[in-house]
Amino acid sequence: MHTLHIAGSDERLPVGKMLCLGKNYEKHAKEMGGDVPADPVIFMKPATALVYDGGQVLIPAISNDLHHEVELVVVIGSTARDVAEAEAMNHVLGYAVGLDMTLRDLQSAAKKRGEPWAAAKGFDTSAPISTVVPAERVPDPAALELRLEVGGEVRQHGFTRDMILGIPATIAYLSRIFTLERGDCIFTGTPEGVGPVHPGDALHATIPGMAELRVSVARR
Ligand code: MG
């Protein structure tokens, strides 16, 4: 069973589907060589992608180019189907810092061929997630800072206020396509500064004052 840890609780919350937004920060959309998409880019990760704080991200043999993407993760607490933006935040259980680990070589090849990103984005260990901080302890999730250090060097630094589709709009949008359920996770996109990591690297993702996550990288 793949479960999330909630700060201050003994509950082990089974993780459901992980829905992820692509290109939800303008500067990241540009660094990927494209414009901001007219509609949100959505992809998924399976529960087997989950990695805890202190765990390892394993590069499968089919790839030679693993990239980091630090993101705010929204964890759903109650069923949301066709919800309005004004109600959306009532369905949030909490927040975490996560890493949308990406096999960039596979993703680039898939983009060229018009194929899905399932392997590039959903491989085992592609979704490290910190302990979940209950929503009542996060007064303004649109005012968080995202940082990622690799080997002590800052690689990504951004702010959730720069998200193109904000959290209420994201939940409302996704709920018109997917029924959102308790334990589902939403990766809300990464700010600019994505780049490669290698076996032996130590990643430290933080939302200062809220959450942190440490993982290392190895070959599978
Ligand atoms: Mg991402």
Which pairing describes strands 185-187 and 18-22: parallel, antiparallel, or unpaired? parallel
Ligand 1 centroid distance, CA of 161 (Å):
16
Ligand 1 centroid distance, CA of 91 (Å):
22
Q: How far apart are the first and last CA of the chain?
A: 21
Q: Report if pTM > 0.85.
A: yes
Ligand 1 centroid distance, CA of 76 (Å):
18
Ligand 1 centroid distance, CA of 66 (Å):
13
* Residue 101 pLDDT: 98
pLDDT digits (tens, 9 = 90+) for 143-188: 999 999 999 999 999 999 999 999 999 999 999 999 999 999 999 9
Residue tagged 């390892």 (tokens): 56
Three-state secondary structure readout of 136-155: HHCCCHHHCEEEEEECCEEE
Ligand 1 centroid distance, CA of 20 (Å):
7
Ligand 1 centroid distance, CA of 22 (Å):
5
Domain count, the chain: 1
Give the range of the structural domain holding residue 138, as residue numbers without chain letter: 3-219
- CATH code: domain of residue 215: 3.90.850.10
Looking at 22-36, 93-107, 112-126, which range is the least confident one?
Answer: 22-36
Residue 34 has pLDDT above 90, yes or no: no
Task: Give me the amino acid identity at 163.
Answer: M
Ligand 1 centroid distance, CA of 57 (Å):
16
- SS3 at position 109: helix
| C-beta of residue 23 within 8 angstroms of C-beta of residue 29 | yes
Mean of pLDDT over the chain: 97
